[in-house]
Structures are given as structure tokens and as C-alpha cells.
Structure 1
Amino acid sequence: MSVSEKRFLDPTILASVLDATNTGIVITDNLLPDNPIIYCNAAFEKMCGYDHDEIIGHNCRFLQNKDRSQEARFEIAEAIRNGENCVVEIRNYTKDGQLFYNQLYLSAVKDLSGNVTHFIGIQNDVTSRKKAEQTLQMNFKETEQKVIDRTKMLKESEEYLSSIVETIRESLLVMDKDYTILSANHHFLNTFKVSLNETKGKLLYDLGNGQWDIPELRLMMEEILPTNNPVLDYEVEHEFPHIGRKLMLLNAHRVELEGQFKDRILLAIEDITEKRAVEQRKDDFLSIASHELKTPLTTVVGYVQMMQRLMPENSSERFRSVVDKTERYVARLNQLLKELMDVSRIQTGNIELHMDYFDFDKMVRETIEGIQAATRGHRIIVKGQPINQCYGDESNLVQVITNLISNAIKYSPDSKEIDIHVSRVSSFIKFSVRDYGLGIKEDDLKKVFERFYRVGEIQKNYPGMGIGLYICDQIIKNHKGTLWVESEPGKGSVFSFTLPVNLDKKAAYEY
């Protein structure tokens, strides 16, 4: 049969077939830095719990979370390095941190010249099989005497554990499978102004003459908990007749052990009413302070500019130096005030993104040229491929790129290069900034995008308020993109974000 006579499967049908299969499938681009994922099917999204937009652009290693020392990871790295196929079983983690075992079939795709262009990963969730194997191994290892010893130890520890529960500065209820209260610690009794007689032996929803018959609480206990054990940080707000409005953070766990404590339900209740009120007062203060400072600071900026224009030609160098320093510090104060106002608008939802088409490559080039002109000690190197048109808020994206590059320069004083990489990954634009500086500890990685959070060691040596990355994260999220960081102390950091290439032009985005 000649080539012209061959029938090829329509790409749309092929995509439908891949999405219909129960087997997870990902495709990575070996020609792009860090071999990013450019395609994943619906089965893979369901397996790992991440959405399509959160997967594209990442290297597959993000699924291993902190579990980086697995032998399987080195086998995969070796196969990718040599452009070979391999089959491994590897421990992965879902978006909410749940462990699952993945049987991975990795296949290299080569072009006519024998160069590896892509890798295809066929993934099967074998968690049930692995758990069965582990259970079987445990049964062989355990003896009847160990079970007896463990039971004895639990009985002896019951009083000790009860003492610990009573010292916890959080309300705690223990219930049976029917939501009848078996015990309540003193913190619960004191917080909600009830006695032990009014609590123990009562149905949860009957407490306080039905005060705890809260629809959101029923939803968590009866629908969410049975299918998603445990439930963490579930927020409930309720007006109690005798103690007023309470904002509560609930954590629930169903004990699935056999024996005396089988099907017990633990419910921890944190009263965050005052904490949230303090946060609101802080937000209100920031909003008022930033707006009140704006007018006098604008006046000061105007006077400094006037001083620079009207300065006599015979002015002394000392006087000129004082004016220049004043201008720099006023500019810095103006930038801090702008960031505070951005945070205030984010919290109140009053900032709108002005979306339009613009030349992404030109925006990146002009932004970097401006930063490079003001930076003598570092060389900014740009690599990648042209993007052309992008739909978004250009000024806000300039703010994001400026912040990421400025941070890379600021926190890598001993390294002279900053690497920028721009690429198109599937239906996303990917922008990455790599520095070779201080790096970030693993415990701080998840917090760097929080408002006012600053890494302890950096806080001591570098000024700042810890809001720049928070603002960047909010801008990217409201462009329907993702911002993340990979880092290792002493080896630098890589901050990356993705933006969808095709956004709905008519959509309105606010943050």
C-alpha cells in the first residue's frame, strides 16, 4: 500500500480516544528545558487530583512532592538521559497530599534522525495492589503476642491521652458513628458555655436545644467526611443565641482502626472569630493608611521634582547629592505605598484587569531592557521562542515580570547571571526566571506567596514587606494562570508562571 493510500486517524478522534481511556497518559517535550508536560488526558487528571491547567508546564517530578530519594526516580532519569524506554513503580502524591502508587511505562519518541523529541508516559494506579501486598507482608510479620502487647499499651495510655486532650487549646469532641457525643474537653465546654451533662450522650445536632443543627456542619459530617477522611480546615459561620456569632475552623477524622475505638469520630473546633476580626482590622488599616498617605506623598514627589528642575547650576555637589538621595528614597516609599494599595484592592476586590491583545515578546524585551539598564552587576540572559500576541493586562504582567527578575537579582548577590526562558507549552505561555543565589528552604516554599510572609534568614539581611510575590500570584491567578517556585538552598531558585494562550476576550477578571 502506497503512502497516499494509507488512512490516518483524525486527531480529534485520537484525542477523544485518549480522554476516554481509564489509563493516565502524559506527553512531555524533550526539546524544551526541564522536559515539561505538554499533554495529559482526563484519566491522569483524575488520578493525581490536579486540574489540566495546574499540570501543563511542570516536570513530572512534582508528583513525587518531598519523596525525592526513590530508586525509581533515578531509573527514570537514566532512561531519559539515554533516550530509552523503561517500566517502573513509583510513589506519587495527589494534589491534597494522598499517596498513590503509579506503574509507569515510559516510552521515547524519536524523529527520523534518531533524536528523542518527546516522552510518552502510560500510568496506572496500582495503589490497591500495593496496599494488599503491604498488608500481606505485615500479617506475616506480626505475631499474636505483638497484638496483645499493643492492646495492653493502648489501655495503659488511655488516661495519658485523655490528659493530653484536656491540655489542647482547641475544642475537641469525640463521637460514635451515629454522631452521639462520647466526650468533650474543657475547652469546648468553656468556649460554648455548656456543661458536660448537657453534652455527653447527646446527638451532635441536638446540642444546646438544636443550636448545633447547622446545615454546613451536617454537610461536612454526613457527606464530605465519609468520602474524604479526614476533613481539614472546613470553615463554618453560625450565630449562637447565647454567645453570638462564631466563625469556626473544623477538622474532622473518622478512626478506622479495629477494636474499642472503631468508627470513632474526632471533631476539633477552632474559634477563629477574633483572629479573622483582627485580620479585617489590619486590612482596613492598610486601606485607610495607604489612601491617606497617597496625597501628601504625591505632593512631596512634586516638590522633589521641582527642586531638581529649579536647582541652580552652581549648586554644590553635596546639595545635589542630598536632592538625588531624597528622590530615590521618595521613589522607594512611593513604590511601597503602591504595593500596599494593590494589596488593599486585592482584599476588597476593587481592582479590575484591563484585558486586551498585546505583543508579549515586545513587552518582555522592553521590561528586561529597562531592568538591565539599571543593573550593572548582573547579566540577564533571555532564551526561548517567540510568543507574539497575548491577551491580558499588559501593565500588570509587566509588574509580575519586573518583580520576579528584581527578586532574582536582589537575592543572588554573588552570582552574575539571571536566566530567562520563554516558551509555548501546549496551549500555555511559560515564563521562567532562574537565579543562582541564596535559594529557599523546603519549609518556606509553600509560604512565599502568602501576604506579608518573608523567609527568616532573608528578612534579617534584605529590606521588604513580603507582599510582592503575593501580588504577582494574585495577578497570575486572575489571568487563569499558575505561578510556582522550585528552589534549593545555596543553589538558587526558579520562579515560573503559565498563562493560557487563548483567553475569552469578553470575560471580565477582577481580584
Structure 2
Amino acid sequence: MEFFTPVSPENSSSLGMALVVSSTMPLLLLNDHLIVQAASETFCRAFDLRIEAVVGLSLFALGSGEWNRPQLRSLLEATASGRAAIDAYEFVLKREDRPERILILNAHALDHNENAAIRLVLAVSDITAMRDSESAVLAQVQKNDSLIREKQILLQELNHRVANSLQIIASILMQRVKRSQSEETRDHLRDAHHRVLSIATLQRLLASNANADVALLPYLTDLCASIGASMIADPSKLTLNVTADASLMSPDQSVSLGLIVTELAINALKHAFPDAEQEHCHIDVAFAAKTSGWVLTVSDNGCGMLDDPAKTKSGLGTGIVNALAGQLAASVVVTDNEPGTNVTVSHVAAGAKDSSSAPGTTVSKLSVGA
């Protein structure tokens, strides 16, 4: 069985002084009148005080009186009386001709027997550098937020100007269509007009998403609605349908995908149905993500491919589709749909194994007209 010998008040006080003096933290030992009994060298060095100018003085007389604050006095007096303790009290030390310092103070009374003199230990932590760092980070965050807001305003203005410019270009092209005497020239101008309108639609849709990923179902649905509205004369005879899953795509990739859909849909609307009286015509745009990548198909039930491939001309649209597919690291395959034509644009992720599984799809049936 072990026995502990009680420490006398005198020895306890001496022990407290020794611990404070040898501490590597800024510490003060105070009596019940808040007179400094001992101070650590760290405290004196931290606040540019000489040890002989500290011990024996009231805490509130240290330096030029910068510690003499009513609230601090009240807290320490309450601690000395045993009514409270100071835990993490934030104190701003203000000294003439010197920067303010932010301190965290902790004070507790030492436990002795009833006859022992009251002693308080006051610990001081300087968090000025930490607060300065926090302020610098906050200022940088606020600056970044301001720059982002400014960028968003400039981007909105740019989008507005681009939209206006595209509308002006589309109007000029339509005026040229009306003035041209050559049917071939009018066809080319109409093609250009449709492309400009489609690009304007792409620009509007992407502007509404800012830098966020684009949900493909509403994106392709709105795009095809715009194409159909400008090119389908009788929606009771010809429909443009969109099927897509819940995939998201980056803005850059969605631009390329949208332009591919635009070219293939315009091509089908122009060439797949030469008989204006044909009914139950449809063009189907479908997108599906797979574990190995994604597949886009644009198919129709029109007149189909020419029997003699040698007579097929590679126009501007074909070149555009191939170039855009290259940007997406995708391949383009054209097959006979019997009836009609099927164009498949597929992307296989690097190192992925092809799989036929795909997420559940949401279908949007779209019937639009002029």
C-alpha cells in the first residue's frame, strides 16, 4: 500500500513558482490580489518585459497598463474568489505604437488546503498569426468570389452578344435566300440558316447551364424541337423523336454532340423523305450510356441509302460529323435501316470492356412543326 505525504502550503507555493518559471509557455502565477508572484521567461520574452519589472507588480501595472481592462479584472477576481475560472477568453492586447495582438487567456486557482494562500495560474496563448492567416484566407476567398461574379456578368454579356449576332446572321441568310435567283444557292443558304439557328439554340441551352454538366435528355429534346420547328412543315406527317437516359456530359463534349445531332437531323429532314405526301415518317435520336462508353443513334424510316455507294457524295455535313466525332474519340457507322438509314456514333472509354447494359432510359416523344 502506498502513502502520499501532503505538501505544505509553503512548499506548494514554491513548487508552483518553479513550474511557472521553468515553463516553455507564457505563464504567470498571481496571488489573490492579482500581484505577479512568478513569471515564465517565455512570457517576458513574448511581451518584451524584464523579469524584475514583472514580479511583485500588479498584472494591471505591467508594461504601460495595457493589461488593465475592466472585464479581465472582473474575471480574474471571480477566479480568485473561487466563483469561476477563465477558459479560452479572447483578449486583444493594445500597446502604443505596436500592432494589436490577439490572445487566448486561461486562468485557474490552484487547489490548496483551507489555510493556504490563494494562487492563480494565468496561461497566455498568442493567436495573432493564426487570425492573420484566417483573415488573409477570407480576403482571398472574398476576392475570388468577386472575380467569379465579375466573370459571370461578363459571360452573360458575352452570351447575350453572341445570341444577338447569331440572330442577325440568320436574318441576313434568310434575306439572301429570298433574293437569290439560283435554287442551288438558295439550298446552300437554307442549310447555312438552319445550322446558324441550331448553333444559336446550342448557345442558349449551354448558357443556361453555365459551367455545369449538361443533362442530355432536356438538352437534346430542346435542340431537336428547335430544328423541327424551323424545318418540319407538317408535324402530322413527320415527327422528330428523342430518347435519352439520365446521362450528364461536360459543356465542351455536349457542344460537339449537339452539333452532330444537328447535322444528322438536318440531313435526314432534307434527304430521307423526298415524297412530300409520304405519311408516318419519323426521325429518331437516341442516346444511351454504357459501362464501356456511350452510343448515339440517329435513324429514319425514309428512302434509305443509295444502291450504288459510288454515287453518294460526301458533303459538308459528312465532314463536320466526322470531325466532331473525332473530337469525342468516337466512331461513325452508317447502316441500312430497312427502311431508312441508321447512323451510329459510339465512344468506347479507354480500357473499358464493351457491354450492352445501360442505365434505365427516359423517353421523350417530340412532335414539332413550322
TM-score, normalised to structure 1, is: 0.29
Which protein shows a greater Rg? 2
TM-score (norm 2): 0.39
